[in-house]
Amino acid sequence: MLEIEHRIVQGGMQSVGYAELTSAVSNAGGLCILTALTQPSLQKLREEIERCAAMTSKPFGVNITVFPTINSPDYKAYAQSIIDGGIKIVETAGTPAVREIVEMLRPHGI
């Protein structure tokens, strides 16, 4: 289903899940996950998705973790960047608000 060679998933890791790690794991036949909120802005996330896509032709995903904070990032805007970036695999975790993200992604086959 994920079109990977080895059933090994490198989960999202805040401050670690950059294009270097993601492309290395995906090039080795696993599935790696860029961490969306490691990027300080939507533009930076778009650039990181493009950078990773240039470093691997294999599938990779993006993680959005919905933290229970007062000043939340615009999670839906991050999800839209993922859709626009052509990503087909998203790993998510966190508060029940995750459901809204999933509902946004599903119609795009993610």
Ligand X SMILES: Cc1cc2nc3c(=O)[nH]c(=O)nc-3n(C[C@H](O)[C@H](O)[C@H](O)COP(=O)(O)O)c2cc1C
83 φ/ψ sector (left φ>0, alpha ψ -120 to 50, else beta): alpha
* Chain residues in the site for ligand X (CB under 6 A): 11-14, 16, 35, 63, 65, 93
Task: Tell me how far, at minimum, the Cβ of 30 lies from ligand X, in Å.
Answer: 12
The encoded tokens of residue 80 equal: 């839209």
Q: With b meaning 16 or more CB within 10 Å and e meaning fewer, what string describes 44-59?
A: ebeebbebbbebbebe
Judged by CB, which is closer to ligand X: 2, or 16?
Answer: 16
Judged by CB, which is closer to ligand X: 8, or 54?
Answer: 8
Judged by CB, which is closer to ligand X: 12, or 61?
Answer: 12
In angstroms, the CA 106 to CA 7 distance is: 23
Task: Tell me how far, at minimum, the Cβ of 106 lies from ligand X, in Å.
Answer: 19
Task: Tell me how far, at minimum, the Cβ of 50 lies from ligand X, in Å.
Answer: 21
